[in-house]
Structure 1
């Protein structure tokens, strides 16, 4: 008996239109170099001015707006099994990277004796399967998840914030 994933409509983000998807894939080769140039100019201005202007580092990363060939195919087909494989790979990649470099992913908001790791997984990574599937996968790996709000004050609306206690506390002897 074969089981297929049936995402719940209330949990899955709205499907992107195919013309919009195709337009993004074609036009990204025009706006990515422009974005990189603007990011470089902003970086120079921020470095030279030292006037307290401190943009988030992700503003300076033009590849965040890139639509990879794999993501294009997954969004174009909109098949639950393909989305599940894509989302699982992306969440696992974020978790693995955080576990490999715990100092870089230390949670600055955590309090207590243990080290707390925190990772943000953008909504674009699990759009087709819903956040509940990404949360379930993260939980199976020992991570707790919270969905970020969708207000305009959020840097990554709809993203998941994954946290996990990691290693001994800061006062532990080595």
Structure 2
């Protein structure tokens, strides 16, 4: 009994702490498992979630840094729309067929209306859009456009609108050479062209702009206006050309800035009488051919300076008196400076004096008279004293 109790409490008895081993103990084994079996297929590695966070809150818009402009948002208003929806083939064919009936009737009605207005002395309709009912060509489908309307292919529309665009661009550039265009603050001028949507429906405004870029033109964003496309071209200010000043010695007669040779004193009386008949005839012909545009917008001024003479300019040109020419030039310049017949109207910033006004006095005399009113030679135009003198008042705002 004692032996059993002694064995329980002793060092080697039951329940005693086992003695330490003969070899030192280390941490858990972290090496490869020698009994592990190789996997026949590679195990996929977990990837981080790359989708949007459904619990993320939108950040408020941050203001642009100082000195930097915030980028403009892309919108339809600032671009050029593409092709418009095609018209129904049936409606196009009906319009093409019926136009040969209603177009002559329309023109005959317009001629009758103008005859009635001239006979009764009544005035026609007024307003910014009062002449829209005169444009018969707006409802006319030419044979060249018929194919483009029926097929709807962009290449057919390009073949149709290409010559129209080229012709209008050439007319606008000729108009710039003759003095047309909007003058900017740097004395450069901008000319523009616009096309109605019926001319480029299947090509789109973007296609028209692409064609215009071949000629050095660019598109003008028209906002939400889908009825037309606008094009423009900006020309820089012309180079400075030497011209006599108002206080310089008078230019010699026969030179560009000097007095021009007068017309025959024998023909002037006949011209004064006959122009009463042929000037109105030329004006009526110009109104009847309102759709014909001459490449020189000042064609009427050039023609009038050669074949017409004003009643007040007749005496100065018939006598050749320097004093008479001086009075005539001063009268015309005063009329241009005071468009309200001297009744307190604001003086315009730019005026133009034609050759018929200063023929016997010289273009330099116009500069001398205009300088008294604060006008100088306009730097936005190349001087052309053989046609006109363009004047500019620097202190007058637009």
Indicate the TM-score class for this superposition, using the shorter chain for normalisation: 0.7 to 0.9
**Contact 1:105–1:117 (Cα < 8 Å) also in 2:** no
| CA spacing shift, 1:99–1:65, aligned 2, 3 Å | same
1:21 maps to what in 2?
Answer: 92
1:124 maps to what in 2?
Answer: 198
Equivalent residue for 2:143, pick from 69, 72, 82? 69
Higher mean alpha-carbon deviation, 48-57 vs 119-128, is at 48-57
Higher mean alpha-carbon deviation, 72-81 vs 95-104, is at 95-104
Q: What are structure 1's unaligned runs of at least 5 residues?
A: 1-9, 152-156
Equivalent residue for 2:230, pick from 129, 143, 161? 161
Quote the offset at 1:56 in angstroms: 4.8
Higher mean alpha-carbon deviation, 41-50 vs 61-70, is at 41-50
Q: What are structure 2's unaligned runs of at least 5 residues?
A: 1-80, 239-378, 385-398
CA RMSD, 1 decimal: 3.1
Q: Which structure exhibits the higher relative contact order, with contacts defined as CA atoms closer than 8 Å and separated by 6 or more residues?
A: 1
Structure 2 residue 106 is the aligned partner of structure 1 residue 35 = yes
> How many pairs does the alignment contain?
159
More helix by share: 1
1:3 maps to what in 2?
Answer: none
Larger radius of gyration: 2
Q: Deviations over 1:27-76 (max 9, x none)?
A: 11122123223433554566632477255545323223211111011111
Matches of 1:105 and 1:82, distance apart in 2: 36
Which residues of 2 match residues 14-163 of structure 1 at below 5 A?
14-41=85-112, 43-44=114-115, 48-50=121-123, 53=126, 56-102=130-176, 106-107=180-181, 111-112=184-185, 113-148=187-222, 157-163=226-232
Higher mean alpha-carbon deviation, 61-70 vs 46-55, is at 46-55
Quote the offset at 1:127 in angstroms: 1.0
Matches of 1:42 and 1:114, distance apart in 2: 43
Quote the offset at 1:114 in angstroms: 2.3
